[in-house]
């Protein structure tokens, strides 16, 4: 299977990677969550890829903030 599914939409793997990065941008370890919790998030964004783009872009505004706090 290619990295893109029907009509250029993100694959499940691409969604998972982007969601994981979005969590990290907020200073949250995505692998510290229960698998069932993240599975629901992944399904939501597979069904709503436009919302993933919106939320991911918002999370990027916070990425540097958490990186600086972690360095202290």
Read off the pLDDT of residues 2-52 as tens digits, 9 standing for 90 and up: 444 455 578 999 999 999 999 999 988 888 877 778 999 999 999 999 999
For the chain, the distance separating the N- and C-terminal CA atoms, rounded to the nearest angstrom, is: 43
Cα 47 to Cα 54: distance, rounded to the nearest angstrom: 14
Measured CA to CA, the distance from residue 68 to residue 20 in angstroms comes to: 19
Q: The whole model's pTM is what?
A: 0.74
pLDDT at residue 67, rounded to an integer: 53
pLDDT value for 8: 58
CA 52 to chain centre: 7
3-state secondary structure of 15: helix
């Amino acid at each position: 299977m290619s990295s893109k599914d029907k009509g250029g939409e993100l694959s499940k793997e691409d969604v998972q990677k982007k969601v994981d990065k979005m969590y990290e941008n907020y200073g949250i370890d995505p692998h510290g969550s229960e698998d069932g919790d993240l599975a629901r998030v992944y399904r939501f964004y597979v069904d709503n890829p436009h919302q993933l783009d919106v939320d991911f872009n918002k999370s990027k505004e916070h990425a540097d903030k958490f990186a600086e706090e972690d360095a202290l």
